[in-house]
Amino acid sequence: SLLRVGKVAAAEGPSTEDADTDEDSGTATAHNREKHRLLSLDRPFWTDLGVTTAQHQLIPAMSRKWRQINKFTEVFASAMAASPLAGAPRDRPIGVFDFGCGKGYLTFAMHDWLRAQGRVPQVTGVELREELVALCNDAAARHGLDGLRFDAGDVRHYTPVGLDVMVALHACDIATDHAIDFGLRAGASIIMCSPCCHQQVRPQMKTPPLLRPMLQHGVHLGQEAEMVTDSLRALLLDAAGYDTQVFEFVSLEHTNKNKMILAVRRTETPDGHADTVRAQIQAIKAFYGIREQCLETLIAARA
């Protein structure tokens, strides 16, 4: 279930490269270690990306990163199983766009996992830094990874074509809203975001009298602004026809921004549900005196 996706991601659990603990005896077993691993270190592209040695051994400094990559893949796999894509024909291409993909760890991981499931991946990593785009494209070409490519670009200037899964981790401020809107315009089955830098809503927020003693502290006001911003995003996705949850996720960078918004498109939505959710959005905005939220504005512009 979609609820299970959040539970899997929220618990960091043991590192997949370390020995796992047997539930009965407390001893390490190869069986458990294999059971939890969705990705293989034997793939040669991990060497190109600096994750493994030429002998396919995990580089010690990358052990935390490897765990994070595997945790993300668990969430991705669970979301796929809960989405309309689960019942799609096996030979139907699965279009994935990973915005702000950086060095491509997750982009390669999603492509590899889809191929291992017998699916046909069409995975695109989008990154502003051209040197990283070149590095990733070279690795993909060197190992004959059909259906994997990297483009230099920005989510705001992309036209959605053949998109089923939209991923945007650590998109700053309203870049997250543009990424979500990109997924909505494309009719994505899965939208995965890890927001960063919640700057738009905070200056607009008027502190309700009851909350003033609590929000007089800047750190609390910042946390409240983040919660309000991401709650509005989740509600807007709900109103747009997606089962949505917000949960803590293993951070993929050296940052405390470890929240994920995960939305999986519903096959059907009850009558009146969207109107009820939109009313909740307006009530929250009125409570805090919020005039504008970027994602809501983007959606309204297409109405």
Please name the residue that has the structure tokens 């053949």.
Answer: 162
Per-residue b/e over 118-137, b at no fewer than 16 CB within 10 Å? ebbbbbbbbbeeeebbebbb
Q: Long-range contacts made by residues 279-283, C-beta under 8 angstroms, separation at least 24? A: 280/235, 281/232, 281/235, 281/236, 281/239
Position 257 scores a pLDDT of 59
Angstrom distance (rounded) from CA 27 to CA 111: 33
Position 218 scores a pLDDT of 85
For helices 105-116 and 63-82, what crossing angle results, to 10°?
A: 50
Angstrom distance (rounded) from CA 289 to CA 202: 10
Please name the residue that has the structure tokens 């991601």.
Answer: 9
291 to 83, 176, 288, 297: CA distances (angstroms): 34, 19, 9, 10
Position 118 scores a pLDDT of 96
Structure tokens at 256: 């405390």
103 to 37, 74, 97, 100, 158: CA distances (angstroms): 21, 20, 14, 9, 20
Position 35 scores a pLDDT of 47
How do the pLDDT tens digits run along the chain, 303 residues long? 554 555 444 444 333 333 333 333 333 444 444 445 789 999 999 999 999 999 999 999 999 999 999 999 999 999 999 999 999 999 999 999 999 999 999 999 999 999 999 999 999 999 999 999 999 999 999 999 999 999 998 877 777 678 999 999 888 889 899 999 999 999 999 999 998 888 899 899 898 889 889 988 988 988 899 999 999 999 999 999 999 999 987 655 544 557 899 999 999 999 999 999 999 999 999 999 999 999 999 999 987
Position 36 scores a pLDDT of 57
Evaluate whether 124 touches 137 at the Cβ level (below 8 Å): no
Of 98, 105, 93, nearest to 64 by C-alpha is 105
Position 110 scores a pLDDT of 98
Evaluate whether 284 touches 209 at the Cβ level (below 8 Å): no
